[in-house]
């Protein structure tokens, strides 16, 4: 008798090999048989007509705070994610000295737009060191597995205190930061992360370490080499180009570890990604593993009346008279012709030039709609619609935002949409040296909701795409399972093979459907976050236990902490 048998499914096993009809048996949390399973299961799932895939492994999330109070970790868990990696982009909550909690929260709030009040109320700070944080995570049951990276900002704050932003450090200070990084790796951190982008700011300015010098990064990186495991994760404006490339190369050569960084097609340098990928192929030929991380849709800001950004949010009338009103009242006032005329006659009043440019980038703002369209045709943009209808872009946007009782969202891709389609993105996704990531699950609560990316990989890329080539099912599944797990050295999962972990999705591909994102106020202290619901996951299984069935949580909490260790 097996613990669980998933029967008669179309198995897409994550290795990339062709789908086949078969059963999966799981015993003691581990896959015991694949193919035709004769023995019965104490529990059986009929997967006739359904896909059976490994659980998704999402390597780029920011649940570092939420994970300490929320065992469900939605929306990622709703979307078939069974393993997620946190601690990306240099921000997180361990190590932490007493009295520094607020500073780390402010960094997370500034960089990742997670409500500080929710973090204050939600986190209980039962740890000081990174190993203690790991033990706290390990002690809490949850629906899926989590893995953590040690964040550069926290290491800097711990060692440097008030001087966390300083660039000139003593050898002793660097040595101490490297020691703490090594301690975290030995406690099972799966990586170290840092931010080198001017987009990541808090009320203290750029985050600590943004302009850290190569010798500091290399010293911390060597702690990964000494530990014999771990990924160096980075977000950088340089996109893998010089001067970053020199120390990245040096890091790989000195440590033998993997380095991953966010790669995008940027509107400023639309072809730089090709050069970067060419350089990385050369380095790969020399045995150096640099793995650009790419999303499966543009990182999209969602403008709406409940979002943290929209085109009228800094207009004086909106800011002074409307912003504080409950949504329904605000919508009623905005429908008033006098208010409308007044707002449309005003200008944005933000001193932030970047925000101002983003909010009026009319050729790259689209209605998201329901079902959401993340690859909208250029002729549907605000600019194109305004030109066609002989109206001002502001009028078009104003009316769109009032649709769906003021809950309509507008899609404003930040990058990866320079040509108005996904052709460049597809090339990046399918490049043999890249990995799928950047869902940012748990973060950007007021503006971005991309935790659904693993679902989108199937709905859009495998099934629905009409504006260009799709991606074969077997390849898409491998991108989100075996490939992501392999980059992080989490080798006990990612494929449906005997001996691998019993993490499985049973999916009705025809019925798989993403809902439009919506704002809810369910974080601690009533904090808001965008969520996105989904239909079509028939069952999600973690370690052989069914965690979700027909989209409902079963209450099972088989998820644990993944500890990285030397391979």
Which residue ranges make up the site for Zn ion (CB under 5 A)?
88-89
Closer to Zn ion by CB, 448 or 542: give it. 448
Closer to Zn ion by CB, 194 or 459: give it. 194
Structure-block tokens of residue 248: 């990245």
Rounded to 10 degrees, the C-alpha dihedral 35/478/502/78 comes to -120
Q: Measure the CA–CA gap between 217 and 224, rounded to whole angstroms.
A: 11
Closest CB 28 distance from Zn ion, rounded Å: 35
Q: Measure the CA–CA gap between 457 and 468, rounded to whole angstroms.
A: 14
Closer to Zn ion by CB, 217 or 438: give it. 438
Closest CB 182 distance from Zn ion, rounded Å: 24
Closest CB 441 distance from Zn ion, rounded Å: 9
The gap between the terminal CA atoms of the chain, to the nearest Å, is: 33
- Distance from CA of residue 504 to its chain's centroid? 20
Closest CB 59 distance from Zn ion, rounded Å: 11
Closer to Zn ion by CB, 295 or 544: give it. 295
Cβ-contact 479, 432 below 8 angstroms: no
Q: Measure the CA–CA gap between 155 and 168, rounded to whole angstroms.
A: 16
Closest CB 90 distance from Zn ion, rounded Å: 9
Q: Is 255 exposed, middle or buried (0-12, 13-18, 19+ CB in 10 A)?
A: buried
Closer to Zn ion by CB, 174 or 412: give it. 412
Question: Cβ–Cβ contacts within 10 Å for residue 15, how many?
Answer: 16
Cβ-contact 57, 504 below 8 angstroms: no
Closest CB 93 distance from Zn ion, rounded Å: 15
Q: Which of 78, 81, 158, 118 is nearest to 562 (CA)?
A: 81
Closest CB 216 distance from Zn ion, rounded Å: 21
- Distance from CA of residue 564 to its chain's centroid? 20
Closer to Zn ion by CB, 58 or 244: give it. 58
All residues at 6 or more sequence positions from 163 whose CB lies less than 8 Å from its CB, including other chains = none
Closest CB 156 distance from Zn ion, rounded Å: 17
Closer to Zn ion by CB, 88 or 260: give it. 88
- Distance from CA of residue 122 to its chain's centroid? 21
Closest CB 459 distance from Zn ion, rounded Å: 23
CA dist 461 → 114, 378, 509, 536, 566 (Å): 29, 19, 12, 16, 35
* Residue nearest Zn ion, CB atom distance: 89
Closer to Zn ion by CB, 237 or 373: give it. 237
Closer to Zn ion by CB, 367 or 437: give it. 437
User: How many residues make up the chain in this entry?
Assistant: 567
Closest CB 430 distance from Zn ion, rounded Å: 22
Cβ-contact 437, 336 below 8 angstroms: no
3-state DSSP helix/strand/coil percent for the chain, to nearest 5?
Answer: 35, 20, 40
Closest CB 8 distance from Zn ion, rounded Å: 39
CA dist 189 → 138, 286, 462, 544 (Å): 12, 27, 33, 25
Closer to Zn ion by CB, 295 or 494: give it. 295
What is the 8-class DSSP label of residue 525? G
All residues at 6 or more sequence positions from 301 whose CB lies less than 8 Å from its CB, including other chains = 307, 309, 358, 411, 412, 413, 414, 447, 448
Closer to Zn ion by CB, 261 or 456: give it. 261
Closest CB 414 distance from Zn ion, rounded Å: 12
Closer to Zn ion by CB, 88 or 452: give it. 88
3-state SS assignment for residue 35 = strand
């Amino acid at each position: 008798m097996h613990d669980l048998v998933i029967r008669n499914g179309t198995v897409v096993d994550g290795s990339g090999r062709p789908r086949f009809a078969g059963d999966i048996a799981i015993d003691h949390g581990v896959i015991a048989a694949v193919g035709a399973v004769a023995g019965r299961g104490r529990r059986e799932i009929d997967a006739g007509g359904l896909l059976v895939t490994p659980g998704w492994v999402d390597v780029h999330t920011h649940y570092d705070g939420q994970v300490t109070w929320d065992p469900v970790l939605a929306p990622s868990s709703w979307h078939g994610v069974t393993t997620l990696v946190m601690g990306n982009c240099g921000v997180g909550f361990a190590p932490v000295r007493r009295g520094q909690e607020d500073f780390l929260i402010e960094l997370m709030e500034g960089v990742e737009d997670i409500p500080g009040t929710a973090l204050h109320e939600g986190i209980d700070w039962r740890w000081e060191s990174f190993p203690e944080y790991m033990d706290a995570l390990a002690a809490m049951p949850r629906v899926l597995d989590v893995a953590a990276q040690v964040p550069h900002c926290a290491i800097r704050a711990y060692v440097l205190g008030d001087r966390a932003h300083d660039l000139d450090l003593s050898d002793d200070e660097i040595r101490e930061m490297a020691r703490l990084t090594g301690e975290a790796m030995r406690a099972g951190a799966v990586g170290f992360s840092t931010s080198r982008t001017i987009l990541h700011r808090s009320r203290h300015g750029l985050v600590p370490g943004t302009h850290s010098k190569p010798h500091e990064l290399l010293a911390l990186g060597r702690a990964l080499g000494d530990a014999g495991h771990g990924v160096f994760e980075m977000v950088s404006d340089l996109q893998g180009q010089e001067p970053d490339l020199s120390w990245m190369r040096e890091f790989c050569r000195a440590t033998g570890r993997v380095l991953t960084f966010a790669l995008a097609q940027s509107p400023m340098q639309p072809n730089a990604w090709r050069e970067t990928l060419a350089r990385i192929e050369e380095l790969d030929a020399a045995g150096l593993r640099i793995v650009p991380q790419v999303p499966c849709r543009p990182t999209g800001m969602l403008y709406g009346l409940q979002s943290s950004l929209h085109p009228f949010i800094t207009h004086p009338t909106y800011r002074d008279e409307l912003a504080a009103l409950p949504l329904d009242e605000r919508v009623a006032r905005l429908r008033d012709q006098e208010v409308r005329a007044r707002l449309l006659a005003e200008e944005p009043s933000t001193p932030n030039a970047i925000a101002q440019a983003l909010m009026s980038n009319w050729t790259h703002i689209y209605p998201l709609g329901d079902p959401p369209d993340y690859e909208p045709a250029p002729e549907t943009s605000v600019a194109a619609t305004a030109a066609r209808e002989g109206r001002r872009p502001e009028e078009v946007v104003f009316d769109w935002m009032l649709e769906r009782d003021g809950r309509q969202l507008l899609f404003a891709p930040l990058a990866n949409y320079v040509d108005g389609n996904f052709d460049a993105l597809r090339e990046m996704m399918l490049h043999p040296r890249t990995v799928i990531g950047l869902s940012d699950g748990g973060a950007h609560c007021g503006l971005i909701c991309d935790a659904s990316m693993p679902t989108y990989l199937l709905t859009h890329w495998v099934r629905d795409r009409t504006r260009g080539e799709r991606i074969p099912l077997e390849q898409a599944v491998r991108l989100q399972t075996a490939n992501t797990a392999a980059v992080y050295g989490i080798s006990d999962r990612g494929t449906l093979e005997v001996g691998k972990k019993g993490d499985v999705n049973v999916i009705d591909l025809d019925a798989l459907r993403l809902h439009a994102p919506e704002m809810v106020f369910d974080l601690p202290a009533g904090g808001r976050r965008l969520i996105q619901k989904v239909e079509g996951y028939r069952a999600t299984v973690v370690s052989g236990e069914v965690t979700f069935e027909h989209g409902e949580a079963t209450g099972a909490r088989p998820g644990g902490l993944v500890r990285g260790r030397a391979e």
